[in-house]
Amino acid sequence: MADLAIGIDTGGTFTDGVIFDLDNKTVEAKTKVETTRHNLNLAINRCLDNLMSALHEKNDARFEIGQIKMVSLSTTLATNAIVEGQGAAVGLIQIGFEPHQGLPTPYYASVPGGCNIKGRIKEELDLDAVKAVILEMKDQVDAFAISGYLSVRNPIHEMQVSDLVRELTGYPVVAAHQLSTDLGMHERTVTAVLNARLMPLITDLMNSVKQGMERLNIEAPLMVVRGDGSLISEAAAREKPIETILSGPAASIIGALTLTGIQKGIVIDMGGTTTDVAVLNEGRPSINKEGAEVGGWMTRVKAAQITTIGLGGDSLIQVSKNAEMSVGPQRVFPLSWIASHYPYLTDELDIIRPIDYSSMDNQPTTILNYIRDPLNLKLTQTEEQILDLIKDGPHTLYYISRKLEKEIDLLPWQRLVNVASVHRASLTPTDILHVNGQLNLWESRAAELGTAMLASRFRTSPDQFVTAVLDEMLFMLAGLTLDRLLSEEGAAFSLADEISGSYILRRILGSDDQDKRHLNFTTSLKHPIIAVGAPVEAYFPKLADKLLAELHLPRFADVANAVGTVSGKAVERTTILVKPGEGGGFLVHTPVGREFFMIFEEAIDYACKEGKKYVYDQAVEMGAVDIETIVERQDRYSKMSSSADPENMDQKLFIESIIEISAVGRPWS
């Protein structure tokens, strides 16, 4: 009998699934269905039903439903939500400090409190003031994030405020100390806010998968891919959905390695919403220990060193009234897709086509599609009218403006998009491929109308506009690839963002008027490009040709992410600090509190013992077997004087011991 696993990758556009033979490392069945963001159950059920049908068609006793040992899930929904600025509205309460940088939420307040570097409370918490802040925010947000000054040294204030939020609101609440043991108040605060923003999204996704498994009597643990490619339990993912950012790209790296066996190369995963690039060295991507940056926000989430941009098959193509064109980072439904589901939209676009929209701030191709009512947000009257108007079916902004008797540029629809109550449709690269004949999946007439409208704003013909969009995408893909490789070499600049670098990059990619140039610019990649994802065949042969790179488009490239979900290991990690005490002795800071020891060796022994027990228990709880614990310790000292002997312990001052402990096991038994 074969040991099987189901791998599911839910992206912004498609949900991919595979049945994978864990013993022989082979794909036994695959499927690709549309991700129904308004109802994730539909996509998950279609995916599982297709896979089960394929399993039954094999009519082989080795491949039975009882042999499914694991269901594993990766997703780009978390990454996409951050890139697009979507998710739950979050109220942030900062304890003991004021914000000094931008935050990923407009709803925040500061209250007195916090501790010092040793974990001693520096100012008592005023619970009455906290209560007033919570009640003031309650009607504006869907979830709360709590971040206290130096809470990694003593989380008591974060825990008290979290308890009060639950008591007064019942809303989801996230405390920063639960997510990271690293210093860096701003990064930890951002991580907590983004985690709170993502909780409803990831919960909905996992609920959909669990319901689908129960319906089909699949009795197996559900695992979720982290941003570093390792697997965590369903319970951990519900509590810390922020760890699933870059989950999809991480799975694609593991999937590319599994499908090709290539140990050194550039993995590029292009989906509907984002394109991600990572460099494989000795079969592993490097890990960003400082934390992943997504959508311009630096977090404290340990993830594979992946560079992500908001560029994919469903990226929003815009042309400003000043005739400036851009692609991404927002994702929208393609016009061709939505018009195939709602044919009347082609007529609505046809009505707009001859209208003068050159001075309009909004894109004339924008269509609003209802997803759900906001969770707790109070809407304006016009926002409620917009939702009521599109609940029975999507409509263009022009149609909505006429029905509500308001100017298009005065319609307040943007907040509805930000909180994921409404999703837009507009012109995308997928539509462009319908116009030039590379795709013929959906309603080409709607794509042609949208292209003609934006070509008019761009002050060119539709054919020339198609070429301009494809050239811009090639430029963005080349910039992403070369910048990632330059970063691996330690370069601290972006070729695509620098004026001179951008000029050279466009010259490398260009083919016009080369005979009039005095210089030829070329580049050559030392290692192959492994391109995975649904739209790669439309773009990467030309990209590889321009960059003089070897290209691999592996079999099952379109479902590489799903393959990667079942190829990782179950990993639990923690970091424990041993620091000098205030009056002597040593403090041990664990995930659950702090302990004091007079003797250094006893402090280290306690830290290692407690850390190993903590990660081992976590790994067992997620269902891992054959668990190995790994302890890595780094002692940090400073010299007592510039002339001190660095080898003489009596002339060094102890700063801290950083003990990183991992439990690694097989995620199925």
What is the per-residue pLDDT across 74-119, written as a single tens digit (0 to 9) for each?
A: 987 887 778 777 788 899 999 988 887 889 899 999 999 988 777 7
Higher pLDDT pick, 630 / 150: 630
Q: Do 375 and 401 sit in the same domain of this protein? A: yes
Higher pLDDT pick, 339 / 234: 339
Count of domains observed in the chain: 4
Q: Do 329 and 447 sit in the same domain of this protein? A: yes
Q: Do 577 and 518 sit in the same domain of this protein? A: no
| 512 has a pLDDT exceeding 70 | no
Q: What is the largest distance, in Å, between two alpha-carbon atoms of the chain? A: 84
Per-residue pLDDT averaged across 135-150, rounded?
A: 91
Q: Do 329 and 426 sit in the same domain of this protein? A: yes
Question: Does residue 81 lie within any of the structural domains?
Answer: no
Dihedral in degrees, nearest 10, Cα atoms 266, 272, 274, 275: 20
| 644 has a pLDDT exceeding 60 | no
The DSSP symbol for 437 reads T
Q: Do 337 and 448 sit in the same domain of this protein? A: yes
546 pLDDT band, cuts 50/70/90, is very high
- 647 burial via Cβ count (<10 Å: 0-12, 13-18, 19+): exposed
- pLDDT at position 298 is 79
Q: Do 546 and 490 sit in the same domain of this protein? A: yes
Higher pLDDT pick, 60 / 137: 137
Question: Does residue 250 lie within any of the structural domains?
Answer: no
Is the dihedral angle over the CA atoms 544, 550, 554, 560 positive or is it negative? Answer: negative
| 60 has a pLDDT exceeding 80 | no
Higher pLDDT pick, 663 / 308: 663
CA distance 253 to 246: 11
- pLDDT at position 164 is 95
Is the dihedral angle over the CA atoms 80, 84, 89, 92 positive or is it negative? Answer: positive
Return the H-helix or E-strand segment holding 51: helix 40-58
CA distance 335 to 165: 42
Question: Does residue 624 lie within any of the structural domains?
Answer: yes
Question: Does residue 592 lie within any of the structural domains?
Answer: yes
Indicate the residue type of 362: N
Question: Does residue 370 lie within any of the structural domains?
Answer: yes
- pLDDT at position 62 is 67
CA distance 11 to 74: 8
CA distance 536 to 3: 31
Q: Do 554 and 472 sit in the same domain of this protein? A: yes
Question: Does residue 511 lie within any of the structural domains?
Answer: yes
Among 122-131, 383-392, 492-501, 504-513, name the most confident range.
383-392
The strand pairing partners of 27, in sequence order, are: 20
516 pLDDT band, cuts 50/70/90, is low
| 500 has a pLDDT exceeding 80 | yes
515 pLDDT band, cuts 50/70/90, is low
Q: Do 576 and 611 sit in the same domain of this protein? A: yes
Per-residue pLDDT averaged across 256-271, rounded?
A: 90
- pLDDT at position 511 is 59
Question: Does residue 508 lie within any of the structural domains?
Answer: yes
Q: Do 447 and 340 sit in the same domain of this protein? A: yes
- pLDDT at position 147 is 92
Q: Do 509 and 609 sit in the same domain of this protein? A: no
Q: What is the pLDDT of residues 148-195, one digit of tens each?
A: 888 877 888 999 999 999 999 988 898 888 777 666 788 888 888 888
Higher pLDDT pick, 631 / 644: 631
Among 351-360, 512-521, 548-557, 576-585, name the most confident range.
548-557
The length of the chain, given as a count of residues: 669
Higher pLDDT pick, 99 / 587: 587
261 Cβ contact partners less than 8 Å away, ≥ 6 residues apart: none
| Range of lowest pLDDT (60-69, 108-117, 625-634) | 60-69
- pLDDT at position 192 is 87
- pLDDT at position 633 is 94
- pLDDT at position 381 is 93
| 202 has a pLDDT exceeding 80 | yes
Domain boundary residue, one of 531, 561, 591: 561
The answer to whether 127 and 164 are in contact (CB under 8 A) is: yes
61 pLDDT band, cuts 50/70/90, is low
Structure-token pair, residue 296? 């311009």
Per-residue pLDDT averaged across 12-18, rounded?
A: 87
Higher pLDDT pick, 372 / 427: 427
Q: Do 535 and 620 sit in the same domain of this protein? A: no
Domain boundary residue, one of 561, 586, 602: 561
| 215 has a pLDDT exceeding 90 | yes
Closest CA to 105 of 174, 152, 39, 13: 174
- Tokens 């825990």 -> residue: 159
Contacts within 8 Å (CB) and 24+ apart, 475-478: 475/505, 475/506, 475/509, 476/275, 476/309, 476/311, 476/327, 476/328, 477/268, 477/270, 477/275, 477/311, 477/539, 477/540, 477/543, 478/505, 478/508, 478/509, 478/543, 478/546, 478/547
Give the three-state DSSP class for 592. coil
* 148 half-sphere exposure, CB direction, 13 A CA radius: 32
- pLDDT at position 315 is 94
Indicate the residue type of 501: G
The DSSP symbol for 409 reads G
- pLDDT at position 648 is 58
| 135 has a pLDDT exceeding 90 | yes
Structure-token pair, residue 90? 């979050």
Closest CA to 249 of 225, 231, 265: 225
| Residue 209 C-alpha from the chain's centroid | 19
Q: Do 362 and 447 sit in the same domain of this protein? A: yes
Closest CA to 273 of 243, 240, 249, 237: 249
| Domain encompassing residue 514 | 467-561
Question: Does residue 385 lie within any of the structural domains?
Answer: yes
- pLDDT at position 628 is 93
Higher pLDDT pick, 244 / 603: 603
Per-residue pLDDT averaged across 350-372, rounded?
A: 89
| Residue 559 C-alpha from the chain's centroid | 18
Domain boundary residue, one of 561, 593, 626: 561
CA distance 400 to 410: 11
Residue 238's CB is within 10 A of a number of other CB atoms, namely 15
Q: Tell me what the pLDDT averaged over the chain comes to.
A: 88
